[in-house]
Amino acid sequence: MSATTTTTAPAARPAAEPAPRHTTGSGRWTASGMLLPFGAFYVVFLLGPLVYTGIAGFFNGSLVKGGLGSWVGLENYRQALGSADFWSSLGHTIWFTVLTTVPLILIALALALMTDRVSRGKWFFRLAFFAPFMLPSSVISLLFMWIYADEIGLAGSVAKLLGVDAPPSWLGDPNWAMISIAAATVWWTVGFNFVIYLAALQEIPREVHEAAAIDGAGPWQRLRLVVVPMLGRATTLVAVLQLVASLKVFDQIYMMTNGGPDDVTRPSLLYVYQTGFTDGRAGYASTVALLLFVIILLISLVWFALIRRTEKEA
Amino acid sequence: MDRGQAYGRGVVRVQNRRRFLGAVGSIAAAGGLSGCGNTVGQAFTGAAGPSSLLNFWHPFTGGDGAQLVKMQSAYRKRHRATDLKSTTMVWGAPYYTKLTLATLGHRPPQVAITHMSRLPTLAASGLLHAVSDSEADAHGLTEDRFQKAALDRARHDGRLYALPLDTHPFVLYYHKDVAKKAGLLEDGKLTDLDGPDKFLDAMRAAKEATGVWGGSIATVKDPAMCWRLWWSLYRQLGADLVTDGGRRVIMDMGAAEEALAYIRRMTAEKLIPANANPNGGAITLLTTGKAGFLMDGEWQLLAVQGALKDKFDIRTFPRIFDDGPYACAADSHAFVLPTAPSPEAQRTDRALDFVRSMLDASYDWTKGGHIPAWQPTADSGEYKRLEPQAHYADAADGAAYDPAAWYSGADSNLHRRFGEVVATVFRGEISPGRAASRMHSAVTDLAKTEAPV
C-alpha cells in the first residue's frame, strides 16, 4: 500500500519544472517520511495484532496469566471447528446479515426514489431519514429496549391497537428476538445507504429520462429499465459495505439481548467476546477470531464477484 | 528587495519554529523524566506514584455509587495525608478484564472491589496479595468481626485473599397494599410462605388482588436472575453442582428437575409473566401494583423505594424445599489487594487502613440494601432499626454462593448458560427433564474445557 503511494508522489511533480537531480532522492525520502507515521500506526495497531492473533491461536493463552501460554498446535482449531456454539453463532451472524442487508438495500432505494421526486422540502426528508444514523449504538439499544419492553413497551401497545391480542415478547421470544434486533438496525442504519442512493440518483442526467419518455417508456418501465440499472455502481457499493457491516454486528446485540434468549441472537463476535473476556481463554478466542476474519473475507470476496458480474450483465 | 525581505522573514520564522519545537521537546523530556508522579508518566515507567497515593477501583454506580462517595469522603476527612484516587468502572466481565490486565501489567490499583464469586479465579491465578494474620490483626480486621459465611468464602487454599464488605442475597419483595387486599397480612406482617404450595397459593391470592399477576421476576436478558432463582431452589434441595475447583460435575439430576418443575409451575399456573425485562418490566409490575411479589436482588431496594416509598417490604426468599439447610442465592462484594510488583507499590498498610475505614462506615453501605459483613455494623442498633433492611438480615446466614470454578461467578458463562435454560422452562418451551439434561451437558462441557487458571 505504501509502495504505490511512494512511486506516484514524484510523478505528480509537473514535468516542466526544472528539478535538480539530487533533490529527487530527498523527495523520495520526504514521501516515505510522511507516510511513516501512518505506516507505523498501521503496523502497530493492525498488522501486529493480526499476526499476534494468528500466533496466539496455536497456544492455550489465558487472560489471567501473562505470556502466550503453552503450545497446543491445532487443538484450538479442532475444538472451534467441532464446537456447536461456533457454528450456531456463525449461523446467527449470517441470519442477521440476510435479515438486514436485503431490507437495507431495498428500503434505502425506495426512500431515495421517493425523496428524489419531492420538489419542495427535500432537505426535511434527507434529514429525517439520515438522522437515526448519527445516533450511537448505545442510544439506539436503550431506545429499542424500551420500545420492545414486555407489558409496557410501545411496540406491544401498537400491536394491540392493530388487533393483536397477545403481542410476542419482542426480545424474549426466540422466534422474534433476531427479527426485532434486525428491525431496529434497519431503522438505525438505512440513512447511510439512502444518502448514497440519493446522490447517485441526482447524477442521472435529465436527458436520459426525457429520451426514455420520448421513446414511449411508461413510469414503471423508466424506473425498472433505466433508473435502477444506472444505479448499478451505487448498488455494488451499498451491497458490499452493508454485507461487511452486518457480518461484524456486535454492539446492539450485546446491549439489547447479550445473545439471548437461549443464545439465538449470539453472533460470532459475541462468541469471541464471551470465550475471550468472560471465560478468559485468550488463545481459543484468538483462533475463533482468526477463523471469523477468514470467513468474512471469503464471503465478501464471493459477494463482490457476484455483484460485479450482475452489474456488468446489466 | 521584496524577495530578500520575504526570504529573511522566512528564515526568522523557521528559526522561531525550531526554537519553539526545541522548547516543546525539552518540556516534554522534562515532563517524561519527572513524570513518575502523573498517570501518563506511570504508564511509561511503571512506577507506582508517590507513596501518598492510594488507587481504588470499584464497579459501583447509581445508588451504591452515591453511598460509596459518602464513605470515601469520610475517609478523606480523617486521612489528609493520603491521596485517595477512586475509579468507577462499568460492572461486569469487562471490569474483571481490566483488573486482571492491570495486575498482569504491574500497574494494579492498591485496593479493588471484587465479587466473592470471582475470587477463586483471581486468587488461583496469583493476582491477589494474601493478607497475613499479622497484617489483618494490625488493623483490627479479625475473624470474629466478619460475617462467617462471607469470610469463609474469602479464603482460598487456606489463605485470606479478600475482606468482605457485604452479602447481597436474592430476596422477595412484596407490595403491602396488594398483600393486605389478598389477605396475606397478619398484624402487618406477611403470613408464612414456606413450602412449595404455600408460596404459590400466596401468589395466587395476590393475582386475584391485582387482577394481573401474582409475582414477577426478570427473565428477559437477565440469565443471572434466572440462575439465582434456580440455584436457591436447587440448594434448598440439598444438592451441589461441581467440586474439585469445577473440574468434576456432581450435579443431582433429580433435584435439578424438581427445581425446574417448580419454576415451570409459576408460569404454567399463570402466576407470573414468562417474559419480563429487568428494569422496565419486572420491577415496574411490582411498583405499579400489577404484581404483589417481586423475586429480585436486594440491590433494587432504592429503585423500588423511589417508586413505592413505604408501601413495600422485603423478606428472605421463602424456604420452598427443606431437604437441605436454608439457602438463597447470594454473593458478596469484597476488598482485595491486587499483587503489586514491589512492597512500595503494594502499600499493604495504607490499603488495609482504607479497608478498615470503609468497613467502619458500612452503615452507609446498608442503605443501598446490602447486608453488612462487618459485624460491628450488623450488630449496631441503628442497623437493626433500619427498615426494611433489617427484615432480611438473616439471609446472610443462608447465603448460597456460586460453586467455586473458573467458569462460575458474577457475569459468568455458567450464569448465562443455566439462566438461559431456566428462561426456556419459564416459557414452557422444553420440559423440566430435558432442561435438566441441557444444564448437565452445559456444565459438563465447561468442566471439560481446560481452565484458563
Choose the mutation target among A78, A147, A150, A264 for the interface with B, i.e. most B CBs under 10 Å. Answer: A150
Cβ–Cβ below 8 Å for A172 and B450 = no
Is the model's pLDDT at A216 over the cut of 50?
yes
Cβ–Cβ below 8 Å for A150 and B452 = no
Q: Average pLDDT of B68-88? A: 93
Q: What is the pLDDT of residues A16-42, one digit of tens each?
A: 555 555 555 567 788 888 899 999 999
Is the model's pLDDT at B326 over the cut of 90?
yes
Q: Helix, strand or coil for residue A210?
A: helix
* Å between A202 CA and nearest CA of chain B: 45
Q: Are A167 and A160 within 8 A, CB to CB?
A: yes
Give the pLDDT band (50/70/90) at residue B362.
very high
Q: What is the pLDDT of residues B29-71, one digit of tens each?
A: 554 444 444 566 666 666 667 888 999 999 998 889 999 999 9
Specify the higher pLDDT residue, A311 or B15.
A311
Q: What percent of chain B has pLDDT over 70?
A: 89
* Å between A191 CA and nearest CA of chain B: 29
Q: Which 8-state DSSP code applies to residue A126?
A: H
* Å between B288 CA and nearest CA of chain A: 11
Q: What is the pLDDT of residues A47-66, one digit of tens each?
A: 999 999 999 999 998 888 88
Closest CB from A66, A150, A152 relative to B220: A150
Is the model's pLDDT at B22 over the cut of 80?
no
Q: What is the pLDDT of residues A85-121, one digit of tens each?
A: 999 999 999 999 999 999 999 999 999 999 988 888 8
* Å between B171 CA and nearest CA of chain A: 23
Q: What is the pLDDT of residues B426-450, one digit of tens each?
A: 999 999 999 999 999 999 999 998 8
Choose the mutation target among A262, A264, A271 for the interface with B, i.e. most B CBs under 10 Å. Answer: A262
Q: Helix, strand or coil for residue B50?
A: coil
Count of CB pairs separated by less than 8 Å, A with B: 110
Q: Average pLDDT of B220-241? A: 95
Burial code (b: 16+ CB inside 10 Å, e: under 16) for A124-159 equals ebbeebbebbeeebeebbebbbebbbbbbbebbeeb
Q: Average pLDDT of B165-178? A: 96
Contacts of B407 in chain A (CB under 8 A): 279
Cβ–Cβ below 8 Å for A60 and B450 = yes
Closest CB from B94, B429, B450 relative to A277: B94
Residue B446: closest C-alpha in chain A: A279
Residues of chain B that touch chain A, judged by Cβ-Cβ distance less than 8 Å: 93-94, 97, 100-101, 104, 121-122, 125, 127, 219-221, 223, 273-277, 280-281, 284-285, 290, 406-407, 411-413, 416, 420-421, 423-424, 427, 429, 449-450, 452-453
Q: How far is CA B415 from CA A279, B279, B411, B423, in A?
A: 12, 19, 7, 12
The helix, strand and coil proportions of chain A, stated in percent and rounded to the nearest 5, come to: 75, 0, 25
Choose the mutation target among B117, B267, B450 for the interface with A, i.e. most A CBs under 10 Å. Answer: B450
Contacts of A154 (CB under 8 A, 6+ apart): A146, A147
Contacts of A279 in chain B (CB under 8 A): 406-407, 413, 449, 452
Residue B110 grid coordinates: 492498591
Residues of chain A that touch chain B, judged by Cβ-Cβ distance less than 8 Å: 60, 62-66, 145-146, 149-153, 169, 171-174, 256-263, 274, 277-282
Contacts of A258 in chain B (CB under 8 A): 221, 416
Q: Are A285 and A275 within 8 A, CB to CB?
A: yes
Burial code (b: 16+ CB inside 10 Å, e: under 16) for B378-406 equals bebeebeeeebbbbbbebbbbbbbbbbbb
Q: Average pLDDT of A58-82? A: 89
Cβ–Cβ below 8 Å for B449 and A259 = no
Cβ–Cβ below 8 Å for A261 and B423 = yes
Cβ–Cβ below 8 Å for B452 and A281 = yes
What global pTM score does this model have? 0.83
Give the pLDDT band (50/70/90) at residue A15.
very low
Taking the alpha carbons at both ends of chain B, their separation in whole angstroms is 77
Contacts of B290 in chain A (CB under 8 A): 151
Q: What is the pLDDT of residues A241-283, one digit of tens each?
A: 999 999 999 999 999 998 988 889 999 999 999 999 888 899 9
Cβ–Cβ below 8 Å for A60 and B411 = no
Contacts of A172 in chain B (CB under 8 A): 219-221, 274-275, 277, 423, 427
Burial code (b: 16+ CB inside 10 Å, e: under 16) for B107-145 equals bbbbbbbbbbbbbbbbbbbebbbbbeeebbeebebeeeb
The H or E element that residue B248 is part of is strand B248-249
What is the pLDDT, as a whole number, of residue B6? 42
* Å between B188 CA and nearest CA of chain A: 31
Q: What is the pLDDT of residues A120-169, one digit of tens each?
A: 888 999 999 999 999 999 999 999 998 998 877 899 999 999 998 888 88
- The DSSP bridge partners found for residue A71 are A59
What is the pLDDT, as a whole number, of residue B45? 65
Contacts of A150 in chain B (CB under 8 A): 220, 273, 275-277, 280-281
Average pLDDT, chain B: 89
What is the pLDDT, as a whole number, of residue A172? 87
Cβ–Cβ below 8 Å for B219 and A172 = yes
| A80-84, B32-36, B223-227: range with lowest mean pLDDT | B32-36
* Å between B67 CA and nearest CA of chain A: 26
The helix, strand and coil proportions of chain B, stated in percent and rounded to the nearest 5, come to: 55, 15, 30
Place of cell 475470587: B119
Is the model's pLDDT at B144 over the cut of 50?
yes
Cβ neighbours around B66 below 10 Å, total: 14
Cβ–Cβ below 8 Å for B104 and A65 = yes
Cβ neighbours around B446 below 10 Å, total: 22
Q: What percent of chain B has pLDDT over 90?
A: 77
Is the model's pLDDT at B28 over the cut of 70?
no
What is the pLDDT, as a whole number, of residue A8? 42
Place of cell 477463523: A291
Residue B442 CA to residue B417 CA, distance in Å, equals 7
Contacts of B281 in chain A (CB under 8 A): 149-152
Closest CB from A62, A64, A152 relative to B280: A152
Is the model's pLDDT at B302 over the cut of 50?
yes
Contacts of B67 (CB under 8 A, 6+ apart): B364, B365, B367, B368
Specify the higher pLDDT residue, B7 or B132.
B132
